[in-house]
A and B are shown apart, each in its own frame.
Chain A
Amino acid sequence: MAARTLRHLILLAALAWGCQALADDGAELVLVVHPDSGITTLSRDEAINIFMGRHRQLPSGITALPVDLAPARAEFYQLLTDKTLAQINSYWARLVFSGRASPPRQAQDAAEVLDIVANSRGAIGYVRRRDLSAGVRPLVGLATWRNLQTASTAP
């Protein structure tokens, strides 16, 4: 257990360092919502519940419409759920037949994400910090959760 924990710590430290470098580069992924969505912040668990289909509404009560940025999907879910894209795909595949939950809408680039979020009150997506535009409200950089996660896992 101790050895595993140590390995995680080293990995996370490396990731933190790398993201910091990205952040500096403006490559950090940032959650974005419609300015009228009624929310100004979102916890990581709330983000997971929305993107994994558990909650259909935003904390403010508006029906949620999550949007995936296809090119950054693997990085996003890795940061959000600590799972690979294959695991995420397998998760959604199990739910295909029940039809109760459906995966987020897929956008091909940052512009499409920004366009969907800017035009829908319940939409929630993610783009790189350098692609942010005025029509959306940035909520939180995913590096923060990583730091939180690092902090929470550290002890």
Chain B
Amino acid sequence: MSNPIRSRLALRSTAIITALLLGLGLLVIAIAAPMIARQEGASQHRQLEGLVNTVEHTAAIASFLGDDQLAGEILDGLSNNATVSGALIRAGEQVLASRGDLGGEETGIIRRPLMSPFNRDEQVGEVVLASNQGVIREQVKAATLLASTLLLLLVIALGLCVIAVVVRMITRPITTISNRLHGLKVELGQKLDIPNGNEQDEVGRLVRDVNAMIDYLVNLLNSEKALRREKELNERKFRAIFENAQSAIFVTDSQGVLLSSNPAFLRLFDVSPQQLGGPNPPLLFDLVGDQAGPLQARLRQCLDNNRGTTVEVTLSQPGRWLELIMNPGGEGTVQVIANDITAFKHATSKAEQKASTDALTGLGNRLGFEQRIHNLLDGDARGEPFALIYLDLDRFKEVNDSHGHQAGDAVLIKVGEILRALARKSDFIARLGGDEFVLLLEGVDREDVCTRLATEFLAVLDQPLALNDTLSVSVGASIGIAFGETGAVSAEAIIAQADEAMYRAKEQGRHRYCIHRPSAQ
């Protein structure tokens, strides 16, 4: 808008062409002016020569006769001419007549000898003509000015023609296209029209190119739109799944910063949205209590190996189990699906307990015992001492035979209670089947602990066991004791040792204990 010369093609090209033409015109004038002047000067000279030619014959007669009257008339006639400043006719050396000023520049003087009308060889006089150089200069100037003016007019006319042509051929079609482009509703499939008469030229090609580009862009836009719609749909679908999932779904990085999470996550970890959106949002590791360390290690592992993994986490407060399925999410993030498996864990552990418990006595059964001793011996701990006590009731078969199974069961329950009362809380007691019991005393390497326990048990059995108000029975017990250290002995070996010691006690007369000693073997 600032400068029309810069913003208007027609004006600019016209300005340039006009400037060029003006320059050329001035150059031509500069070269032509002296030529015109010379030409004009020569023309003036020719005119004066012509004047002299006209009067020459009469002037010759005047000179021949010495007729000053006639000579004067001739000079009067000559002097009427504006370019003549002065003239003179001589007869011989004598001046017949003169008019005006002959003292001008020498260049303007024309001399013509006058010959006798009757003898071409005899000079009778002379005519002298002085031209008015000022007038001639004026005329030369006028002629030059006229030529220059015509040239200038030509330049101006040419400039106007160029403007007209440029406006007609270039600017107007471009402006038309530009205006149409401004008002074009491309999204409705509108196209540019080619201005009339420009179908075959560059303007037409430009319009066709623009249309092709519009086509291309519209197609691109439509496919983009379709893609975006599809993506939106998918996103909404996934968002719904994410939002409504009962599993907690969240994304975290290796530092435990929570990048995104769903409502189930908030419920699972008991976090309020305000907390999460607040200035100091909790880290994942803040929410898992003492499990932070192991969890962070597993998180790192998942990222380092770039492989999914599943972790179970126990929250001591409020005592829940969580299962975290972690998958690397790219760029250092981990996607986690967390489920509360507390109920499942409880059910499992109840089932496990049920399987490893003797239903009659509430003590462990054979399976429970085997699990316990394998857990102890297959673990990582080394050099942890422990004691194994095998116990078999004497005369139990008689109770069963004489008082029935119920009495037998009552005896077994009673024995279980006695053992539970005698043993430490941490000691494991199991009934292996029938009237066979076992005690696993972890951390015990002192003989006296075991012998005291055995002695006390035997002492209890010295008294008859009151099964109910009316019935009391007497049973004894044979006890075998073996000692071992974790990592130094297998479960089978220690069981065999305790069993062997128990049979020794039976052989030695029952109701006593025997200790397995490595040296005794």
- A83→B520 CA distance, assembly (Å): 195
Shortest CB distance A78–B (Å): 12
Among B63-71, B131-139, B352-360, B486-494, the one that faces the other chain is B63-71
CB-based contact A95/B119 at 8 Å: no
- Is B25 among interface residues, defined by CB-CB distance under 8 A? no
> Of A52, A95, A97, A100, which contacts B118 at CB under 8 A?
A52
> Of A45, A48, A82, A94, which contacts B70 at CB under 8 A?
A94
Q: Taking A81-B118, A83-B118 as contacts, is the C-beta distance between A100 and B61 under 8 angstroms? A: no
**Chain A residue at smallest Cβ distance from B72:** A98
Q: Which residues of B contact A17 (CB under 8 A)?
A: none
- How many B residues touch A, CB cutoff 8 Å? 13
- Is B173 among interface residues, defined by CB-CB distance under 8 A? no
Question: Which residues of chain A from 37 to 93 have any CB-CB distance to chain B below 8 Å in the complex?
Answer: 45, 48, 52-54, 81-83, 91
> Of A48, A81, A83, A91, which contacts B61 at CB under 8 A?
A91
Interface size, A (range): 10 to 19
Shortest CB distance A5–B (Å): 14
Query: Counting chain A CB atoms within 10 Å of each CB, which of B67, B73, B118 scores highest?
Result: B118
- Is A101 among interface residues, defined by CB-CB distance under 8 A? yes
Q: Taking A91-B61, A94-B61 as contacts, is the C-beta distance between A100 and B119 under 8 angstroms? A: no
- A131→B238 CA distance, assembly (Å): 160
- Is B204 among interface residues, defined by CB-CB distance under 8 A? no
CB-based contact B70/A95 at 8 Å: yes
- Is B117 among interface residues, defined by CB-CB distance under 8 A? yes
CB-based contact B117/A100 at 8 Å: no
Q: Is the interface of B mostly helix, strand, loop or mixed?
A: helix
Shortest CB distance A16–B (Å): 21
- Is B58 among interface residues, defined by CB-CB distance under 8 A? yes
- Is A99 among interface residues, defined by CB-CB distance under 8 A? yes
Q: Report B58-100 CB contacts with A as 1/0, cut-off 8 Å.
A: 1001001111111001000000000000000000000000000
CB-based contact A45/B119 at 8 Å: yes
CB-based contact B119/A53 at 8 Å: no
Q: Which residues of B contact A100 (CB under 8 A)?
A: 65-70
CB-based contact A54/B64 at 8 Å: yes
**Chain A residue at smallest Cβ distance from B69:** A98
Q: Which residues of A contact B65 (CB under 8 A)?
A: 52-54, 95, 100-101
Q: Report A19-52 CB contacts with B as 1/0, cut-off 8 Å.
A: 0000000000000000000000000010010001
Q: Which residues of A contact B61 (CB under 8 A)?
A: 91, 94-95
- A101→B65 CA distance, assembly (Å): 8
Q: Report B460-477 CB contacts with A as 1/0, cut-off 8 Å.
A: 000000000000000000
- A91→B70 CA distance, assembly (Å): 12
Shortest CB distance A88–B (Å): 10
CB-based contact A95/B67 at 8 Å: yes
Q: Which residues of B contact A101 (CB under 8 A)?
A: 65, 67
Q: Which residues of A contact B118 (CB under 8 A)?
A: 48, 52, 81-83
- A82→B117 CA distance, assembly (Å): 11
- A98→B61 CA distance, assembly (Å): 12
Question: Which residues of chain B from 115 to 146 have any CB-CB distance to chain A below 8 Å in the complex?
Answer: 117-119
* 8 sample A-B contacts, Cβ–Cβ < 8 Å, listed by A number: A82-B118, A94-B58, A95-B70, A97-B70, A98-B69, A98-B70, A100-B66, A100-B68
**Extra contacts besides A54-B65, A95-B70, A100-B69 (15): CB < 8 Å:** A45-B119, A48-B118, A52-B118, A53-B65, A83-B118, A91-B61, A94-B70, A97-B69, A97-B70, A97-B73, A98-B67, A98-B69, A98-B73, A100-B65, A100-B70
**Residues of A bordering B, CB below 8 Å:** 45, 48, 52-54, 81-83, 91, 94-95, 97-101
**Residues of B bordering A, CB below 8 Å:** 58, 61, 64-70, 73, 117-119
